[in-house]
Amino acid sequence: MCSFLNFAIILVGGVMLLYATSGISELEIPNKKSLVIYISECKNNCKNCHTPYLHEKYGDSLKENFNLLLNLYFNYLDVVCFMGEGKNTKEEKEELKYYCNIIHDLGKESALYSGRDVDIEEWMNCFDYVKVGSYQENKGSLSNRNTNQKLYKKENNKYKDITYLFWK
């Protein structure tokens, strides 16, 4: 483990975000290795969701395990990618922003896969990558040219649509 990654999680309150699983992937952010953290209690309820178990209150406290996850995967990742926003409460948004700042302090990039049909919200500005748009089966995922979903990359404090990088 990387001993330099000993930082305190100083969030107040009880268990907030729960994560169901995590792992390394090269699929979520083009040309990057991502530590993907699947957040549970998703409220989007997309029809034919590919991860329906994330709708439930399931998993472990991210607050209690974030340091461990970073230590475990730090040397293998470019980006930490949060898949979902949980219940999308103010407290959970603050928790995600807190992790985003830690990630940047450690010299890595951050990503949020929102899954909601929204424009990028102010609180999301800490992320280097933001995916918005619900899964709509008739429009497909990011790899489908007809998708309603968009992946944005922050460049010079502005978000640029890079969805086309998924199209082959």
Asked if 8 and 67 touch (Cβ cutoff 8 Å), the reply is no
Kindly report, residue by residue over 156-165, the tens digit of the pLDDT: 999 999 999 9
Task: Determine, yes or no, domain membership for 68.
Answer: yes
Kindly report, residue by residue over 31-50, the tens digit of the pLDDT: 999 999 999 988 887 777 77
Task: Determine, yes or no, domain membership for 27.
Answer: yes
Report the mean per-residue pLDDT for the chain.
89
**CA 45 vs CA 24, 62, 113, 148: distances in Å:** 25, 22, 15, 16
Comparing CA positions, the residue from 51, 60, 52, 70 lying closest to residue 16 is 60
Domain count, the chain: 1
Q: Which two tokens stand for residue 38?
A: 């699947």
**Residue 140: DSSP 8-state:** B
Residue 48, judged by CB atoms within 10 A of its CB (0-12, 13-18, 19+), counts as exposed
**CA 142 vs CA 41, 50, 145, 164, 167: distances in Å:** 22, 13, 7, 8, 8
Kindly report, residue by residue over 81-121, the tens digit of the pLDDT: 999 999 999 999 999 999 999 999 999 999 999 989 999 99
Task: Determine, yes or no, domain membership for 13.
Answer: no
Average pLDDT over residues 136-151: 94
Task: Determine, yes or no, domain membership for 58.
Answer: yes
Task: Determine, yes or no, domain membership for 53.
Answer: yes
Residue 91 lies in domain = 3-8+19-166
pLDDT confidence of residue 41: 85
Task: Determine, yes or no, domain membership for 14.
Answer: no
pTM for the model stands at 0.90
